[in-house]
Amino acid sequence: MNGVHDMGGMQDMGPIRHERHEPAFHEPWEGRVYALSRVLRTRRGPWNLDAFRHAIESLPPVDYLRMSYYERWFTWMLTTVVAAGDVTQAEIESGSPAAGSPRKAVLVAPEAVSSMVDRRASARRDVAAAPRFKSGQRVRARNIHPSGHTRLPRYVRGKSGVVVVDRGVFLFPDTNAHLRGEKPQHLYSVRFAAREIWGEQASQRDFIHLDMWDDYLLPV
């Protein structure tokens, strides 16, 4: 989706506001949103990490830019708890469980937190898939503009680079985000000259490395 989240190369977004001694959370509610979302995401439901990202990037552009990071997450949570059947919209509106509604099982007990945090949630898939490209090969990023989720940034579409290394087989976010299967395929680290992407204004000594799936690439 050509959304505002796809920011690479945009200009005039203002100065970078670096903060010394930055805390993990600036306000308690941010920590609560983070913790709640971690707990909710352990649950099987109509989402996965890619669907979560897609939901965030699908916020109306003005809201995406206006909201702070954890405010976006909170907004995701409000719709997701209803979509997953955890609570009803009426309960969200009333602020309390509907009369007679069954008490649900706790998602993460306090004792389970450390194993939840340490859990290995990898997108790597141990399946056989033939790589379409090999190290050293020249490739071009496809010039595609899918309306759904993609991890192919706009700034690199249509540009050519070189495969540096094959990272192995990973699930494909473009389908996974829409619950249309994992479509596991090879992922490569691809190196692009900054001049190929930005033209003469870029330094000849600058390069951008992106991780790209088979479905994003064409041979040159």
Site for other proteins in 165-194 (CB under 8 A): 167, 170, 173, 187, 189, 194
Binding region for other proteins (CB under 8 A) out of 7-15, 131-139, 178-186: 7-15
Alpha-carbon gap, residue 3 to 106, rounded angstroms? 36
Count interface residues toward other proteins (CB under 8 A). Answer: 104
| Spacing of C-alpha 18 from chain mean position | 23
Residue selected from 106, 130, 136, 147 as contacting other proteins according to rule CB under 8 A: 106
Looking only at residues 35 through 64 of this chain, which bind other proteins when binding is defined by CB under 8 A? Answer: 35-36, 38-39, 53, 56-57, 60, 62-63
Residue selected from 146, 179, 180, 206 as contacting other proteins according to rule CB under 8 A: 206
96 contacts: CB under 8 Å, gap ≥ 6:
none
Burial of 214: CB neighbours in 10 Å, binned 0-12, 13-18, 19+:
buried
Least separation, in Å, of the C-beta of 79 and other proteins?
5
- Using CB under 8 A as the binding rule, whether residue 78 contacts other proteins is answered as yes
- Using CB under 8 A as the binding rule, whether residue 20 contacts other proteins is answered as yes
> Crossing angle for the helix pair 28-40 and 69-83, nearest 10 degrees?
40
- Using CB under 8 A as the binding rule, whether residue 100 contacts other proteins is answered as no
- Using CB under 8 A as the binding rule, whether residue 123 contacts other proteins is answered as yes
CA-CA-CA-CA torsion sign (198, 202, 203, 206): negative
Alpha-carbon gap, residue 201 to 84, rounded angstroms? 49
Q: Do the beta carbons of residue 81 and residue 87 sit within 8 Å?
A: yes
- Using CB under 8 A as the binding rule, whether residue 128 contacts other proteins is answered as no
- Using CB under 8 A as the binding rule, whether residue 210 contacts other proteins is answered as yes
Query: Residue with structure tokens 């790597």?
Result: 124
Question: Helix, strand, or coil here: 22?
Answer: coil
Least separation, in Å, of the C-beta of 111 and other proteins?
9
Alpha-carbon gap, residue 220 to 218, rounded angstroms? 6
Least separation, in Å, of the C-beta of 136 and other proteins?
17
Alpha-carbon gap, residue 59 to 192, rounded angstroms? 30
- Using CB under 8 A as the binding rule, whether residue 157 contacts other proteins is answered as no
110 contacts: CB under 8 Å, gap ≥ 6:
none
Least separation, in Å, of the C-beta of 146 and other proteins?
13
Least separation, in Å, of the C-beta of 32 and other proteins?
5
- Using CB under 8 A as the binding rule, whether residue 99 contacts other proteins is answered as no
Residue selected from 16, 99, 128, 130 as contacting other proteins according to rule CB under 8 A: 16
